Structure 1
Amino acid sequence: MSSLNWLLPHLRILPEDVQSDVSSSSSLDGEQSIPHELKNDEVNIEAHESEPQPAQQSQSLKAGIPYELRDEKGRKWWKYFDEFEYRANSEYKTSRSWYSFLYPNHTTHSKAERRLLYKLDFMIGFYFLMLCWCKSLDTNNYSNAYVSGMQGDLKMTKNDYINTTAISNVGAIVLQLPFMYLLPRFPAHLILPVMDLGWSFFTLACYRAQSLPELRAYRFMVSAFGSAYYPVSQYVLGSWYAPDEISSRVCLFFCGQLLGGVTSGLLQASTYKTLNGVHGLAGWRWMFLIDAVAISIPCAIIGFFVIPGVPSKCYSLFLTDEEIRVARARNRRNQINDNVDKDKLLSLFSWKLWKKVFGTSTFWVLVVFDTCSWNNMTAFSGSFLFWLKNDHNYSIVQVNNYSVLPACLGFVFVFICAWGADLFRCKWVFMVMSQIMNCVSCAILVKWDVSASAKWFAFLITYFSVAASPCLWSFINDFLRLDPQIKAVTWIAIYSFSQSTYAWIPTLAWKTVEQPRFKTGYTVSLIFSAVYGAWTFVVLYFYKRNEKKNALGNGIILYNSDNGEHAPAFVDTLMEKKGDYFYVKESEKTEL
């Protein structure tokens, strides 16, 4: 059996894993504190404090971590806009050169950290890009197939187009819910490929649809099996990347979505031109065949081998033991808890679990955030395609070719927002900027009676609506990093609620009979985009409040001499100063 370990994914057990149990649990947003077992590199500080320190939520120090002692006396009001004020200390911020923001090694100061990031980007960053491309390709195929003959072949009239989309969205919502139970208990390298194979099978089935009800049944199942993709991929990404690295990696994920928008139109145009009528099959049917057999099924099989699990339970064939240790050290430094033993997980029917999810501000703040992001997207409404088809004398091939232009520009918009967020450690600026641009686009299209060049401009910048998504998902991952089970349940709950609104709002706002103007749709998108941009400041407030409560775990020892507070006693009793920062004393480390 040992020889197969070189060929098949298996649980990587390091020598230290046999010696100690490093699992722990924490609260969702600092509003409830749950006692946790000390890890083997932590020192308890409660016995060294004569009085409570309100800013210190965590009650343990980590060996080997530099701590910044910070007096908040005279703190300026504009520090509210410093997103990483409490998320990272000065040592963490200054130990990374600006040009190395994609591949820093400032946590372990070792070459192994950069090698780890290179491998992770290839294994999960690039793989999730490919998988998102597959999913986006199939989603966009539906729009391209509609304008390439499917509408007539299946006798689709009035609002059949948008109603079919709504039905498929219901499939995704229904089958997402079981992942509240599955995600913390079963490895992602098994969950995701199995679901993707089901998605590929029903994508293939779409080519043989002979009626609208049959197509709707297939699309429902495609979305149902595709429901695992978003929550599982984000769960995995949030378990490996630091808070100032993850937006850039979610950017890769969204590049796959944009690539689907680009290649779908080009592939549909090429397929329609070369295969339409071959073996008695219409061009739009060939596209579903090619998508499933040549793209989706191979990607699903690859996932079984490249998805690495999480650092504490790694199944990777490609990471060395040293790199797994580096990943775990990075998570300890960044307060990312990626695993809870199964015997310590709460029952899915436990009131205590749901109280932790719904009884805190985090869920409600994030669900509004995510709902706005789902419903501000003119980019995925198909409106540009309808405008090209109805208001111009373009051929079907030309319509499919021109349809890729907004998605091509979308690459630029997404990279600006995602890379800018990590480079400057400031997501909120780019989120607000993207929504301002989307509001401009929607306002032009609401007016509609403008020049053709103004309409082209408005349509070409529609992908600013999705450009903020990497930052949004990075925020959610960072909010939920402290408890893997709460992370899984909350992710699914937020995503299911948000997507459920996307199942019915478009049926009211984007009625197919209103094409190509869609005045109601653009107005709804404008409203959601404006709320999205404004709500970013609400999220920033709760995010910073949460990080201030967890500042000690982020390497920051807070006190405020304006309030009569002094540096905590444990600074003198348990720590020693080296340069500008404090570390756990060697004598304390030997007792761990």
Structure 2
Amino acid sequence: MTNRSYELRNENGRNKFKKFFDEFEYRLNSKDRISRFTSFNLFKFLYPSRVTNSKAEKTLLFKLDILIGLYFLMLCWSKSVDTNAYTSAYVSGMKEDLKMVKNDYVYTSSITGVGAIIFQIPFMYILPRYPAHFVLPIMDLGWTWFTFACYRANSLADFRAYRFIANSFGGAYYPVSQYILGSWYGPDEISSRVFLFFCGQLLGGVTSGLLQARIFKSLNMIHGLAGWRWMFIIDAIAISLPTCFLGFFLIPGTPDKCYSLFLTDEEIKIARARAKRFAINNPKGKLPKFFSWSNWKKLFLSPFFWILCVFDTVSWNNMTAFSGSYTLWLKSLNKYSVVKVNNLSTLPAALGFAYVALCSFGSDFFRCKWAFIFFSNMMNAVSCIILIKWDVSSSAKWFAFLTTYFSVSASPCLWSIINDFLRFDPQLKAMTWIAIYSFSQSTYSWIPTLTWKTVESPKFRTGYIASLCFTLVYACWSIVVLFFYKRNEKNHSVDNGIILYNDDPENKQEIPAFVSQYLELKDDGYYYLRESNKLEYSEEISKE
């Protein structure tokens, strides 16, 4: 990287308490970390090109937002519509047609989720080795076919079998998508792009209810098929199938294995240079043997793995937004028609757009993900407390239900932090992503069966108490993660363009020898590689 700037930073006099909460203290040097408070312009915020001042880099980012961001929005939307179709179908006649009783609703969700957990494990091996623009659409085709098959279910066992297989094909799209996003975007760019991904999830929550309402009204018993059956047919053919085929052409893979009809060779080179600038290591050459003990030792003996496992697990289990409680409460009021229930069910997800946008853009703008994770969990805690009490005014109850999507809003920040933690080793990144996601999702398969029992509908007191506990742990754990994140970044400070020393006599740390040997101070106050050293600097500096 010929443009890499290095900041020589003296640690003497550092305010430890104040700086502890500065998340990006060691992640970006002062040159890369240009203040965003002087003037705010959304276009400059999304496409800053602050280091190279390159129009080509801005063009690359814009193209990536179209190719990756909008595609994942569509993919997540189609998955979310299919997933939410289960709740919409349940309150639209499927419960009666399939003779679902007692806790069959929550048990079916848990059973079908097991397929996703089991069949995403092979992606530990697949992710860094095979091009994502083939892997993801092929898996999506399987999801589409078995979503379509759900309309044929004549018993609960049939339905569970179809959903189990569909989820088996769809299980990897979360970690695969985040793996791809983390390969292209910088640390203060990624949350606002993960926002697009979650927009798809929220859009699915909104459109699923509206689609089911329209389908139930227009197609119920047409050709002898109930409205809920038409929902699965339309989901598969009109929504999921087109998304599958678009994936083959839009997904550019990762910078190291980029196969794109829309990116030029120059833009691919810029993407690879950006990855170096942001210290993102993508697969190069031959990867270590997957089954070697050193790989698995790195995974399971690393404190980061267990810290991130807890982090992701509490994020999965605090999500009151996806419990279906709001829709079941609406139905229990017995004053809304099926169409009205489906229409009203979209309100929390619609408001969720604002909550997710606040956390996603705010965390990138302020470069402070942990604070927005903490804030969103405090808001979710208020919602849970109101619903635990239950005997409150109608307006308070509506407020609580309409703020449940704060339980989701921190997810872009969470996933961005995980991506940043794992950026140094592509094999370990794939293994860790799948491992923590599988573990977290597995807890989400059995915890709801204990806490969100359908027989407790619509109050779900146990569920809200459990969610409150997970929410409080989630908020507090963000501080723990911040500590380990900063320690990790300090250990990699040179990769981030920051050279540390300390001239305090009691804690003296010399200026590293490579500064005078390989670097030269320019007029802007930062160090750059001498022209004669650009071929050999990489190995020498990395050793430091």
TM bracket (short chain): over 0.9
Question: Equivalent pairs: percent with the same residue?
Answer: 66
Q: CA deviation at 1:103?
A: 1.1
Q: Which residue number in structure 2 is paired with residue 371 of structure 1?
A: 313
CA distance in 1 between partners of 2:410 and 2:128 (Å): 27
CA distance in 1 between partners of 2:364 and 2:3 (Å): 25
Q: Which residue number in structure 2 is paired with residue 357 of structure 1?
A: 299
The one of 456, 464, 484 aligned to 1:542: 484
The answer to whether the aligner puts 1:582 opposite 2:524 as a matched pair is no
CA distance in 2 between partners of 1:542 and 1:361 (Å): 9
Q: Is 1:65–1:333's contact at 8 Å kept on the other side of the alignment? A: yes
Name which of structure 1's ranges 157-166 and 389-398 shifts more when overlaid on structure 2. 389-398
Distance 1:365 1:591, change over 3 A: closer
Q: Is 2:3–2:52's contact at 8 Å kept on the other side of the alignment? A: no
CA distance in 1 between partners of 2:334 and 2:406 (Å): 25
Q: Which residue number in structure 2 is paired with residue 79 of structure 1?
A: 19
Distance 1:335 1:591, change over 3 A: closer
C-alpha offsets along residues 283-336 of structure 1, whole Å, 9 cap, x if unaligned?
A: 000010000001101100110011001111110110011111111111000000
Name which of structure 1's ranges 395-404 and 108-117 shifts more when overlaid on structure 2. 108-117
C-alpha offsets along residues 408-429 of structure 1, whole Å, 9 cap, x if unaligned?
A: 0000000000000011111011
Q: Which residue number in structure 1 is paired with residue 199 of structure 2?
A: 255
TM-score (norm 2): 0.96
Correspondence list, 1:396-415, <5 A: 396-415=338-357
Q: Which residue number in structure 2 is paired with residue 477 of structure 1?
A: 419
Q: Which residue number in structure 2 is paired with residue 273 of structure 1?
A: 217
Q: Is 1:372–1:529's contact at 8 Å kept on the other side of the alignment? A: yes
Correspondence list, 1:418-437, <5 A: 418-437=360-379
Gap regions ≥5 residues in structure 1: 1-61
Distance 1:330 1:280, change over 3 A: same
Q: Which residue number in structure 2 is paired with residue 444 of structure 1?
A: 386
The one of 80, 91, 102 aligned to 2:46: 102
CA distance in 2 between partners of 1:270 and 1:223 (Å): 26
Q: Which residue number in structure 2 is paired with residue 194 of structure 1?
A: 138
TM-score (norm 1): 0.88
SS at match of 1:554: coil
SS at match of 2:521: strand
Structure 2 residue identity aligned to 1:137: V
Correspondence list, 1:42-61, <5 A: none
Q: Is 1:310–1:339's contact at 8 Å kept on the other side of the alignment? A: no
The one of 438, 451, 464 aligned to 2:406: 464
Q: Which residue number in structure 2 is paired with residue 5 of structure 1?
A: none
CA distance in 1 between partners of 2:324 and 2:88 (Å): 9
CA distance in 1 between partners of 2:257 and 2:123 (Å): 18
Gap regions ≥5 residues in structure 2: 538-544
RMSD across aligned C-alpha pairs, in angstroms? 1.1
Correspondence list, 1:176-575, <5 A: 176-341=120-285, 344-562=286-504, 563-575=507-519
C-alpha offsets along residues 522-575 of structure 1, whole Å, 9 cap, x if unaligned?
A: 000000000000000000000000000000000000011121223222222221
CA distance in 1 between partners of 2:332 and 2:535 (Å): 75
C-alpha offsets along residues 211-241 of structure 1, whole Å, 9 cap, x if unaligned?
A: 0000000010111000121111011000000
Q: Is 2:283–2:426's contact at 8 Å kept on the other side of the alignment? A: yes
Structure 2 residue identity aligned to 1:494: I
Structure 1 residue identity aligned to 2:131: P
Q: Is 2:151–2:233's contact at 8 Å kept on the other side of the alignment? A: yes
Q: CA deviation at 1:63?
A: 4.0
CA distance in 2 between partners of 1:309 and 1:101 (Å): 25
SS at match of 1:302: helix
SS at match of 2:528: strand
Q: Which residue number in structure 2 is paired with residue 43 of structure 1?
A: none
Structure 1 residue identity aligned to 2:12: K
- Number of matched pairs: 529
Correspondence list, 1:126-141, <5 A: 126-141=70-85
Structure 2 residue identity aligned to 1:117: L
Structure 2 residue identity aligned to 1:251: F
